[in-house]
Amino acid sequence: MASGLKGIKTVRDLEVTGKVVFLRLDLNVPLENGKISDETRITASLPTIKYLMDNGAKIVMCSHLGRPKTEADREFSMEPVAKRLSELLSAEVILWEDIASDGIKALLQNLRKTQLLLLENVRFNPGETKDSEELATVWAGYSDVYVNDAFGASHRAHASIHALPNIMKNKGIGFLIEKEINMLDSLLDNPKRPYLAVLGGAKVSDKIAVIEKLLDIVDGFVIGGAMAYTFLKAKGHAVGKSLVEGEKLNYARQMVERIEARNKTLLLPVDHVVTTSISDTKSAHTTNDMNIADNELGVDIGPKTIKAYSTALHEAATVFWNGPMGVFETAEFSKGTFAIAKALAENSGNKIVGGGDSAAAAEASGYADKMTHISTGGGASLEYLQGDRLPGLEILRTKIRN
C-alpha cells in the first residue's frame, strides 16, 4: 500500500484565489420522500467548501447520489442537497442541469462571491461510471484546480474521481480526505495498545481481506453480527436457522487457529437474542449459552456477550469498529449494537468507526459525538485498511523519481 498522503497535495498547497475549483464531494445522502434523512456527508464537506470560499475561489461542486439508471430517475436529483447547502453556507447554490455542457463558462465569468455551482447528479451521465475522458475534458475546459474531498467514492475509477484529475495539473485533496487517511493510518502505524477490531455485519467474506491485514496488527478481534454464526458453526456449535456462509466454514476454522496461534484474543458471542424469524419480534428471547435451537435464528448478541465485549472495549486503547452486532434497524434487536457504541463512548482511547452500517449505528445510538472519528466511506475505508490502492488517491500522488 502506498504510504498515506505521501506525494499528495492538500487544498492548503494549491493556489485557489480567483481560480475555478472543480470540487468533487461525496454528497450521497439518504433521501426519504425527497427529504434528506441524514446530512452527515453534507456537513463533513463544509470545511473544504468554506476554505475555498474564504480564499476567493469560484467553486463548481459535483457529486453522485444513489444509483440512477438514467437521467429520468429524478428521485436522485441533487436539488434537495443544493437547497440544504444554500442554507448551511448562507450562499446561493445554483444547480447546473447539463453536466456535459461547457455552457457553464459564461456563468462562471460573472459568479459572485456568495454564489456556488453544483452540477446535477454526475451519474445521470453514463460517462461518469465509465471513467470517460471525453466528459472529463469538458470539466477540465473550465476548471483551473481539481480538489477531491469525496473519500467515500475514491475507491471508484469514475470520471470525476479518476479521468478528470488525470488530465489536470493542479490537483489535491480537501480536509475531509486528509482527516480520513490520517485516522485510518493511525490504525495501521504504531497504534496504541491494547488494540481491538470489532467486526460485525452479515458476511465473513466481506471482511476477509481486512481480517488478513489486521491479523498481525491488532491484539484481538471481537466478532458479532451474522458473521459470528459462521465462526460458531465452524467451532461446532449449533446455530439453528442463523445466516451462515457455508463456503467460508473452513476459512473461519483456519482463522480461529491462526488467531489462537498468535496468542491473540478472539471474542465470540456466548449468548444470543433469537427469534423464529426476523419479522417476529414477539417470540424474541435470550439463549442460555452460545447454542441456538434448530427452529430459531440469532438476531443480536445477548446480555452476557454484551458484558464481556464491553469489559474488553473499556480496556482497549485503540478500537476499530466495522459492522453491527445484529439487526439494529429493529428496536428489539438493537441492544447489542448500541451497547458497543456506549462502551466506545465511555472509552478514552482512539475509537474509529468504519462507514456504512457502522456509521448509521453510531448515529442511531446517540453516541456518535463520542467517537474519535466516524468514516464517511464504508467500502473505501475497508479497501484502504486492507491495503488496496484507491484510484481517487493514486491519481493525485506525485510520482517520486529516483
| Rounded-to-integer distance, Cα 371 and Cα 373, Å | 5
Using CA atoms, how far residue 375 sits from 36, 203, 359, in Å, is 19, 20, 7
Beginning with the edge strand found earlier in the chain, give each strand of the sheet holding 92-96 in spatial order.
92-96, 115-119, 58-62, 20-24, 145-148, 171-173
Cβ atoms of 152 and 378 closer than 8 Å = yes
Cβ neighbours of residue 174 under 8 Å, at least 6 residues apart?
10, 11, 23, 45, 47, 48, 51, 147, 148, 149
Which of the residues 356, 377, 378, 392 is marked catalytic? 356
| Residue 174 is among the residues annotated as catalytic for this protein | no
Instruction: Please give the radius of gyration of the chain, using alpha carbons only, rounded to the nearest integer.
Output: 23
Q: What are phi and psi of 102, to 5 degrees?
A: -95, 10
Amino acid at 155: H
Which of the residues 19, 24, 41, 248 is marked catalytic? 41
Cβ neighbours of residue 331 under 8 Å, at least 6 residues apart?
none
Task: Pull the grid cell for residue 205.
Answer: 467474506
| Residue 356 is among the residues annotated as catalytic for this protein | yes
Cβ atoms of 180 and 376 closer than 8 Å = yes
| Residue 298 is among the residues annotated as catalytic for this protein | no
| Residue 6 is among the residues annotated as catalytic for this protein | no
Cβ atoms of 229 and 239 closer than 8 Å = yes
| Rounded-to-integer distance, Cα 372 and Cα 232, Å | 31
Residue 311 — left, alpha, or beta (φ > 0 → left; ψ -120 to 50 → alpha)? alpha
> Exposure of 295 by Cβ count < 10 A (0-12 exposed, 13-18 middle, 19+ buried)?
exposed
Which of the residues 9, 50, 130, 203 is marked catalytic? 203
Which string of DSSP letters, residue by residue, matches 109-147? Answer: HT--TTEEEEES-GGGSTTTTTT-HHHHHHHHTT-SEEE
Note the Cα 318 to chain centre separation in Å: 19
Catalytic residues: 41, 203, 356, 379
